[in-house]
Structure 1
Amino acid sequence: MKKLIKPSLLIFVCLVWAACSNTKYLKPGQKLYTGAEVVINPDSSAKIENQKDVKSDLEAKTRPRPNKSILGLKPKLYIYNVAGEPKKPKGFKHWLRTKVGEPPVLLTEVKLKTNDAVMTSFLISQGYLQNVVTGDTVTKEKTGKAVYTVNTGIRYKIKSITFPKDTGNLTKVINDNKANSVLKVGNYYDLDAFKNERIRIDNDLKEQGYFYFSPDYLILQVDSTIGKSLVDITIKVKDIAPDAGLKPYTIKNINIYPSYSLRRDSVLRKLTPMEYHDFNIYDNRNTFKPRIFDRLVFFKKDELYNRTDHNQSLNRMVNINAFQDVRAEFLPLDSFKNDQLDLNIYLTPLKKNSLTFGVTGTSKSNNFVGSEVKVTQTTRNLFRGAEQLDVSVSGGFETQVSGQQTQNLNSYSFTAEGKLTFPQFIVPFYKPRSTNAFIPKTIASVSYQLLSRGSLYKLNSFKTEFGYNWKENKYKEHTFNPISVNYVQPNLPADSNKQKRLFDSIPGLRYTLEKQFIIGSNYSFTYTNQMEENRRNNIYFNGSIETGGNVWGAFVPKNNTGSKSIFNVPLTQFVRLETDLRNYYKINRNVTWANRLNLGYGYAYGNSSSLPFVRQFFAGGSNDIRAFPARALGPGTYKVNPDQSFADQGGDIKAMLNTELRFKLVSILYGAAFVDAGNIWLRKEDMGTPATATDAAIPGRPGSGFKLRNALSEMAVGTGAGLRVDATIFVIRLDVAFPIRKPYLPEGERWVIDQVAFGSSQWRKDNLVYNIGIGYPF
């Protein structure tokens, strides 16, 4: 540790010197501005409500902003100063100073009166109608700051709310919906609430046909002279509101242009439209079947305009993924003299065919690196109903760059997949109709994958699935596949002695290499409010259930041994449950505390004693328990041979808990500190199989079985830290972790936190696990 202290101390001294040296570049009389400080009610011992937030909001509204800093240092300013004045308006020095660096923000740039006025206005909007703000500057050697003293006064509340008198249809709509008002008697005066009330009333009127009404036609008169820090609010429709905004409109004609482009505009308008239900369709190319518009356009002729149908129609036309441009135009008949609108819908289709090509690189914690190439052909509007066919072919390879090198551990994979998506429910003998803004989907897919583990074994996997995906609303999504068929065919070495050595060296591998036939159903439900970024607390929940060989297995006959089988392969029978709950709590603007609870349970019966390998749970890896290699933790207290960590260890039961503190460092660079805990287990311990006259014995995995009383003591725990480059459209992640609890050690010795020794190269080699990932772990 002494070797590390001296370099660390030197770096710290250099950084402090760099921070202090920024002021030496100032000209005589200049002072570096270090920021604003707000002092609220200094003469009062009582705090106002949410004083910390109010103080933070006020300080954020001051201008100018001081130079950006990290841990009190100002690296961008230091770069600006060190680069110096460039001789030419180009070149590296000019780029470094103007693009990377940041000029000093001086105290003379602070406009105290302007900031006083801005903060006064903000406080008034929050209900502090009698506030007083006074700004001043405080200097110290070559630096200075602004100090603003704020006396808020008492925060005003609402005493009464008066809505317009019911004198006609418009005021009747307003009064009929006043129970939904954002404003409540007893609430604080809040300018944002006043704005939201105008928007609410406008929305209510839009639902009743008032297409040309605007929130600007409403005025909220506030009387603050009634005393006792109370206000009366009167809501009125302005006298200057135009006639067009004060009457409801109905839909006259609905004209649809399904293959619109500016180049064809004049030609399309001259066409004789095809009349279908309430629609006039202008399309001489018959691009889409007319009935598709029954699912996309919610308006009907002669009905009142309403915003719900407007938004849902637009959302559906966008979400169907068939158009590159969608535009809806509402035009009044006879220049506002009557109360009817024509609806023109202009749709520009996407290209029918497109080809995408992708290359990905992988680096796994089990010492495998590799790459994959994927080509996807997309055909849109296949049957003129906005269907989409995706056919993809991908190939990849992996090689183990460290660990055991005595075997050929290079592997490769080949995958072919076809997926056909229908933008509607296709259900035999029933035609369900979705009425929200989200497009329901029926998806049929078939795929084949070949995975070769060098000279060890090969796996051939065939899968086909048919099911549905739909959104109940923007928070809830459902996926239901009533039919899912998966057939796995392994190819083992022909040499039986080689098979025996393989199974002896990797207990549990035999489950990977069994023939598997899975026919069943699955359902998953997802709830999330993560799209609401203004929330302080966001959650994500996913729950799924999968069955194999249950309902569909009833149609499978039994063989001579009494087992159900297809093509001489025993039918797998099981029920699998999994839940994933995540919580994201924003401590402040730059710090988030993320947590995840992941539980899984599988019950196999009939022909099966354990879940099929392709449906088992796994532990360890870059998105899991990061202090352990990928899929190499467990089951239970069993420890996999580290030289054979590519042999995945699966289980029937999983329990995992992650907690991670995420914080912004600078720009798009974020840091994280985390703790992961969990493990997997088999429902029944793997006892192995004894030798027979024809087959050799297969070793078991002692300690792999689940016992509720021992589960907590068999949990693995790891901790670590990481860096993330979060550019919004992509996230690159690097984590380093180490175990502090190893479940495979003897009881009483599993906590190893006292053995952590960063200065030991052997400890680092044995314990540090590096993870590179794309996206956040959860």
Structure 2
Amino acid sequence: MKNNSTKITAFILIATLICACNAVKRVPDGKNLLVKNNILVNGKSTNDETASNQMYQKPNGTLLGYRLRLNLYNLANLNPDSTYQAKFKNNPGLYERQSKILSAKQVDRLGQSFLYKGIHEFLKNTGEPPVIIDTAKTKKSLLRLKYYYFNNGYFNVITDYTIDSIARKKAQVNYNITTGPAYTLDSIRTNIMTPALDSLYKTNNEPSLLKSGNQYKTSDFEEEKNRITTYFRNHGAYYFQPTYVTFDIDTIGKKNKANVTLIIGNNNIQERDSSRTEPFKLYKISDVNIYTDYSPANSKNKIADSTTYNNFNLYSYKKLKYKPRAITDAIFISKGSTFADFRTTLSSRYLNNLKIFNYPSIQYEVDKRDSTAQSLIANVYLTPRKKYSFGATLDFTHSNIQDFGIGASLSETIRNVFNRAETLEISTRLNIGSSRDMANPNNNFFNVSEYGVDLKLNFPRILLPFGTEKIIPKSMIPSTQITSGFSKQRNIGLDKENFTGGISYNWSPKRHNTAKLDLLNAQFVRNLNPGNYFNVYTSSYDDLNDIAQTYNTTDTNIDEATGKLIVPTGTTGFTNDVLTGKTALTPADAAYKDVESIEERRIRLTENDFILATSYTFTKTTKKDLADNTFYQFRTKIESAGSLLSGISAIGNLSKNSRGNYEIFNLEYSEYIKTEFDYIKHWDFGKEKVLAVRSFFGIAIPFGNSDYIPFSRSYYAGGSNDNRAWQPYALGPGSTNAVNDFNEANMKIAASAEFRFKIFGDVKGAIFADAGNIWNVLDNVVDPKAKFDNLNDLDEIALGSGFGLRYDLSFFVIRLDLGFKTYNPAHEKGDRWFKEYNFGHSVLNFGINYPF
């Protein structure tokens, strides 16, 4: 309590100190602090973000209306060295007295310490100096505003500005814009001097961005330039550039209208000291030369090996190391085809995707053998990466299982394994960590560990015994991946061995769309320490032990010293006694059903799992790059497991076990169908304000050989990337109040919204709301609170809300989120809202990068 009081007092003092700062403390006399830019268009204030961005001066940033950075800057001593020296000048003998206690060197160093200098440097760098109104910059801003409105069709715009004082040393700038009527496009004509380009223009089916009746916008003309240039360069016009496209805008004799003439001149050719013009030519490709081992060092050497394959010429300065098809399949420029920029781009993407070359260079030259000078030779220069490359990483991790972890990995990549551009990756990993959720009898800090090895073989094509070119053409950049892996966990749950293997196909139907078909995905999970179940799942143990205190009849089940069930012999013995009728409990009793439910969950989580699945995943996104904050992303997945094995078992008339299920290697395999839908949308409101939303639905239905979903394929709720008001696995299922230690189910609904904003510098803030839950449906769980029976159960969707801080390090973001339980379905109806909306029940989440 004393520590809390100290923190609260310190917080109040700091807050009072900041609030007491004078915002105009460092504004010189006769000057004014800029508090607002007010843009008035035809007498009305506007919030046009683009217009606001024309300002050379903007007011100091605010946090919830408070100028935090300005006040931090005002707290700083801008000359701490002078202040430190002045202290000794004003107190003769002070320096000598302190030098006797410390030393002259230490006294001098004290002036450079954080207390005297560092704190002021921090405040100055973190803060923001006052923005003082500069009339020269105001006039520049006004001129930019005039151009902005002129470029949007207001050719008669009139501008001026006024400065209004609103308080002592504070003022706002009013930018007065009188636009007049906007000009619209009237007639649109073309004047294209090159007949070949004129014909191309007329056969182009793409709609023009310039349409009669549209308001004049300079940006439309620029986009039209780029559209025409792209079309011409994709249809043979190798020398064409946007500068050849000009527009004549005629407003003479027109009232608020403009006639537009699109003008495209002939090709301008520079020849030494003179220039000439001639009509543009449309070029075809006469040869494609591929240099497979090019480097600046060997560029002047003689070619040592060459071959021709499918009209491609392949050259090597040493012995050719690649089968020709491996290279030519990645090149979309072909002999006899028309020159097209998109073929160059697609070839570069595919070649880069092979991961065996550095970024390729594709250059063109006019073929001097062609008397008409309308042929190009395409030269593709490829610089191989090293055949073998070694990698090592060291990571500090945080996950749903580990509070803190240290991970290390070693990897070896072998390129061009079979001389057809294949890559083989072999990696090993080791992770040691600390988890308060795991059994830790020796109280060791590093109490969990995991190690594993993975192999990944990638083929830059679809690997099937039949052709797939008509279904998945090579322009979709297809690839095949064969994987296998092994991992082993210690002190994580029941200590597992995990064997995986599979074959998958990947391709891109469109530029920002990806598809993945996991033809076969096998996983075998072996629990090494199933007897440790009740030491890990302590909630289940506590429930079972409480029942045993009343109904146990076998002395050997109880530890005499503690009076509790012995793990695992006592828990197993008591459970068997209950389920075989050796106790006073009957199937009609609630306690009997609880024991039955505990045993069902124990069996499900301790049984070894074998999963053989096939899945298809499709992802579509409009995100252009990492800085894009206006986009959406949609992902859907459907997965089927066990059906192939059941079909083979039925055809082979194999026998079933005593439970009526098929087995493979004396192990019941899992059979289910699973589907997921995930949608993310971002809106950018400018000034680094972004609204992000996410919705998710997933369901896995067991059938045939299974009546439950394996733990590794089930869903959980809570955590730093889910509902942040609950710990991972601590929410649901349904309204059960998370009675188990690791709560999971086979259906999940989730939705989140987050508003992100800049606080100062690289520090960002967010307010968020997360909704969702998990339920059991169509499986062997009988608890009605955990099951989803009808739409009325949607009132069990939990709601968490809160706020967070993010620190942007450019290459990743460090994230802290504090979530509060706003609506908790674990409570009785009518008592769910804000029941635990306090710091005592809040959850602090640490994460890397944004949750969605």
TM bin, normalised by shorter chain, reads 0.7 to 0.9
Give the AA of the match of 1:658: S
Contact 1:520–1:548, Cα closer than 8 Å, also in 2: yes
User: Could you list the per-position Cα deviations for residues 698-756 of structure 1 after superposition, in whole angstroms to 9, with x for gaps in the alignment?
Assistant: xx85632221144213222222221122334212111121323333333443x140453
Give the Cα–Cα distance (whole angstroms) in 2 for the partners of residues 87 and 116 of structure 1: 41
Distance 1:240 1:208 in 2: 16
Using the alignment, how far apart are the partners of 1:145 and 1:714 within structure 2? 51
Q: Does 1:256 align with 2:251?
A: no
Deviation at 1:515, TM superposition (A): 1.8
Alpha-carbon distance in structure 2 between the residues aligned to 1:649 and 1:501: 24
CA distance 1:525–1:407, shift in 2 (3 Å):
farther
Deviation at 1:291, TM superposition (A): 0.9
Which of 455, 474, 477 in structure 2 is aligned with 1:439?
A: 477
Question: Residues 419 and 30 from structure 1, CA distance in 2 versus in 1: closer, same or farther, beyond 3 angstroms?
Answer: same
Is 1:756 the counterpart of 2:837? The answer is: yes
User: What residue in structure 1 maps to residue 97 of structure 2?
Assistant: none
Could you tell me how far apart the structure 1 residues matched to 2:81 and 2:13 are? 34
Q: Deviations over 1:327-371 (max 9, x none)?
A: 111122449972222221111122222222223333456774333
Cα 1:612–1:264 change in 2 (3 A) is same
Q: What is the CA–CA distance in structure 1 between the aligned matches of 2:815 and 2:753, rounded to whole Å?
A: 16
Output the amino acid matched with 1:132: I
Alignment partner of 1:354 out of 389, 394, 397: 389
- Within a 5 Å distance, the mapping from 1:153-192 to structure 2 comes to 153-164=180-191, 168-177=195-204, 180-192=207-219
Kept in 2: contact 1:685–1:706 (CA 8 A): no
8 Å CA contact 1:125–1:191 kept in 2: the answer is yes
| DSSP-derived class of the 1:187 partner | coil
8 Å CA contact 1:325–1:349 kept in 2: the answer is no
Matches within 5 A, 1:494-643: 498-499=567-568, 508-531=601-624, 537-556=630-649, 557=652, 558-561=654-657, 563-641=661-739
User: Are 2:143 and 1:117 aligned?
Assistant: yes
**Does the 8 A contact of 1:19 with 1:78 survive in 2?**
no
Q: What SS does the corresponding residue of 1:197 show, helix, strand or coil?
A: helix
C-alpha distance in 1 between matches for 2:122 and 2:720: 36
Q: Is the 8 A contact 1:32 1:144 kept in 2?
A: yes
Alignment pair present for 1:398 and 2:433: yes
Aligned to 1:303, the other structure's residue is in SS state coil
**In the alignment, which residue of structure 2 is the partner of 1:52?**
47
- Which residue in 2 is equivalent to 1:721? 803
Q: Is the 8 A contact 1:365 1:771 kept in 2?
A: no
**What's the offset of the Cα at 1:566?**
0.8
Structure 2 distance, partners of 1:404, 1:768, is 25
Q: Distance in 2 between matches of 1:559 and 1:594?
A: 53
Residue 296 of structure 1 pairs with residue 310 of structure 2? no
Q: Which moved more, 1:482-491 or 1:401-410?
A: 401-410
Name the aligned partner's letter for residue 435 of structure 2: Q
Task: Provide structure 1 residue ranges, at least 5 long, that are not aligned to the other structure.
Answer: 688-699, 759-763
CA distance in 2, matches of 1:314, 1:579: 33
1:420-499 counterparts in 2 under 5 A?
420-432=457-469, 434-435=472-473, 438-453=476-491, 457-492=494-529, 498-499=567-568
State the match for 2:55 in structure 1: 62
Shift of 1:221: 0.6
Please list the CA deviations of residues 14-65 of structure 1 after superposition, one character each: whole Å capped at 9, or x if unmatched.
2233342xx33344444444453221111xx7x9xxx532xx3223212244
* Amino acid corresponding to residue 302 of structure 1 in structure 2: G
Counterpart contact for 1:323–1:349, Cα < 8 Å: yes
Q: Distance in 2 between matches of 1:403 and 1:683?
A: 29
Quote how far apart the aligned CAs of 1:325 are: 3.0
Deviation of 1:274 (Å): 2.4
Contact 2:192–2:265 under 8 Å retained in 1: no
The reply to whether residue 666 of structure 1 matches residue 661 of structure 2 is: no
* Alignment correspondent of 2:96: none
Tell me, yes or no, if structure 1 residue 278 matches structure 2 residue 316: no
SS at match of 1:621: coil
Q: Residues 391 and 410 of structure 2 are in contact (CA less than 8 Å); yes or no, is this contact kept in structure 1? A: yes
Which one of 675, 680, 702 corresponds to residue 774 of structure 2? 680
SS of the residue aligned with 2:76?
helix
Q: TM-score, normalised by structure 1?
A: 0.87
Residues in 2 aligned to 1:729 and 1:245: alpha-carbon distance in whole angstroms: 49
Worse-superposed segment, 591-600 or 8-17? 8-17
Q: State how far apart, in whole Å, the 2-side matches of 1:104 and 1:596 are.
A: 39
- In structure 2, relative to structure 1, the CA distance for the partners of 1:492 and 1:468 (3 Å cut) is same
Say which SS state the counterpart of residue 325 (structure 1) adopts. Answer: coil
Displacement, 1:73? Answer: 1.6
Equivalent residue number for residue 848 of structure 2: 774
| Paired residues, number | 741
Partner of 1:761: none
String of CA shifts for 1:498-541, please: whole Å, max 9, x gaps.
Answer: 33666879762432211222123111111111227898852211
Query: For structure 2, which runs of at least 5 residues remain unmatched after alignment?
Result: 83-110, 270-276, 533-556, 558-565, 576-594
- Supply the RMSD in Å over aligned alpha carbons: 3.3
CA contact (8 A) 1:315 1:437 kept: no
CA contact (8 A) 2:73 2:126 kept: yes
Residue type matched to 2:40 in 1? Answer: V
Cα 1:246–1:684 shift into 2, 3 Å: closer
C-alpha distance in 2, partners of 1:520/1:390? 23
Q: Write the mapping of 1:721-740 to structure 2, written as runs, cut at 5 A.
A: 721-740=803-822
1:394-431 Cα deviation digits (max 9, x unpaired): 12233333798668893322221111111111111224
- Does the aligned pair in 1 maintain the 2:194–2:280 contact within 8 Å? no
Q: What residue in structure 2 maps to residue 690 of structure 1? A: none
Q: Which moved more, 1:256-265 or 1:98-107?
A: 98-107
Q: Indicate how the Cα distance of structure 1 residues 438 and 321 shifts in structure 2: closer, same or farther if over 3 A, else same.
A: farther
> What is the identity percentage for the equivalent residue pairs of Structure 1 and Structure 2?
26
* 8 Å Cα contact 2:629-2:690 kept in structure 1: no
Letter in 2 for 1:122: Y
The residue aligned with 2:238 is 211
Q: Can you list the C-alpha shifts for 1:131-190, whole angstroms capped at 9, x where unaligned?
A: 011123334543444322100111111111112368721111112227521111111101
Between 1:5-14 and 1:602-611, the stretch displaced more is: 5-14
Q: Give the alignment partner of residue 365 of structure 2, picking from 322, 331, 336.
A: 331
Q: Does the Cα contact within 8 Å between 2:35 and 2:172 map onto a contact in 1?
A: yes
Structure with max Cα Rg:
2
**Which residue of 2 is the match for residue 14 of structure 1?**
17
Kindly tell me: are residues 413 and 245 of structure 1, through their superposed partners in 2, closer, same or farther at Cα, counting changes over 3 Å? farther
CA distance in 2, matches of 1:177, 1:493: 69
Q: Is the 8 A contact 2:26 2:74 kept in 1?
A: no
Q: Relative to 1, partners in 2 of residues 1:24 and 1:604: Cα closer, same or farther, differing over 3 Å?
A: closer
* Displacement of 1:451: 2.0
Kindly indicate whether the alpha-carbon contact (under 8 Å) linking 1:320 and 1:439 is maintained by their aligned counterparts in 2. no
CA change 1:399–1:439 in 2 (3 A) is same
Task: Give the whole-Å Cα distance in 2 for the aligned partners of 1:104 and 1:537.
Answer: 32
* Equivalent pair of 2:57/2:138 in contact (CA under 8 Å): no
State the distance in 1 between where 2:70 and 2:805 align. Answer: 20
SS in 2 for 1:57: helix
Change (3 A) 1:19 1:391: farther
- Partners of 2:530 and 2:473 in 1: how far apart? 56
2:138 and 2:711 map into 1 onto residues whose CA distance is: 69
Residues 277-316 of structure 1: CA deviation (Å, up to 9, x unaligned): 2222221232322112222211122332112212111221
In 2 relative to 1, CA 80–120 (structure 1 residues): closer, same or farther, beyond 3 Å?
A: same
Residue 591 of structure 2 corresponds to none
Map of 1:24 onto structure 2? 25
Question: Secondary structure at the residue paired with 2:381?
Answer: strand
Q: 1:298 to 1:709 in 2, by over 3 A?
A: closer
